[in-house]
Amino acid sequence: MRIATTIFLTDETVRPTWLARELERRGFAGLYLPEHTHIPVSRDTPAPMGEPLPRHYGRTLDPFVALGQAAAVTERLALGTGIALVAQHDPIALAKRIATLDFLSGGRFTFGIGYGWNVEEAADHGVDWRGRRQLVQDRVALMRALWAEEPTAHSGAYGSVRASFAHPKPLSAHPATGLPGPRTLIGGAAGPRLFEHIAAYADGWLPVGGRGLTETLPVLRRVWQEAGRDPAALEVVPFGVEPSPGKLAHYAGLGIEEVVVQLPAGEEGEVLRALDAYAQYL
């Protein structure tokens, strides 16, 4: 089983270059970084992880810039967003950013995406909260048009792009979808709408915390197969996990091949202690 990591990197934590070197040297499989552009001080939206919202949510580094630094000092470490808030981006600019990162890293990028939880943050980006899921799906389709080998147009409900010359192309086109662009995993809580979207345009699921997979995974697999997708192609990557031998054995029994463990948003000593503790699972 591949053991990757996630962490809230901020202006007060370890630097991405230091962490990436440590992860690759120790044999960890990857580094996934979350995204928040800002956290409005006045917020009615309750934080799903509980209140008060941890300080690091309002101090996160831009994940694409940080992953670019990580890519520059490593050769094998997989890189990903966990998760990118696609609705808050211009899709043409985001397509260029992802393609560049994947190209320069040698095809090591995974596009972890999500719909977000912070209504006020999304509103500042002009996002209609009720339509955000459809907006994300349309923007991913637009980006894939730009990633296609031949100039391809896209006309959608939320945006359009002319057939264009757009380079570089991502190197890590994923065979599960047969579509251009990197492996795409959708994060979020189990439910009919999420599973329909995963089956419609993604390569798999990033279930935060990884609880309840015994019950929910068969449901996702049924939705996936009903959409005509190859049963062997579905990827489920439990995300932000606090690992234990029993938990990882349980995941392995479900056919899961990659787990993303949570690192503390801290300084070098705190992060090193967590890496030492997780080394038993490598």
The more confident residue out of 109 and 48 is 109
- Dihedral sign, CA of 211, 111, 220, 257? negative
The mean pLDDT of 186-205, rounded to a whole number, is 96
- The pLDDT assigned to 172 comes to 74
At the second CATH level, the architecture of 2-281 is Alpha-Beta Barrel (3.20)
Per-residue model confidence as pLDDT tens digits over 66-108 = 999 999 999 999 999 999 999 999 999 999 999 999 999 999 9
Question: In the structure, what pLDDT confidence band is assigned to residue 267 with cuts at 50, 70 and 90?
Answer: very high
- Is the Cβ–Cβ distance between 210 and 251 less than 8 Å? yes
Going by C-beta distance under 8 Å and a sequence separation of 6 or more, which residues neighbour residue 197?
133, 137, 186
Using the predicted structure, report yes or no on whether residue 38 has a pLDDT greater than 90: yes
- The pLDDT assigned to 50 comes to 84
Three-class SS of residue 161? strand
The mean pLDDT of 57-67, rounded to a whole number, is 98
The structural domains of the chain, with segments of one domain joined by +, span 2-281
Three-class SS of residue 250? helix
What does pTM read for this prediction? 0.96
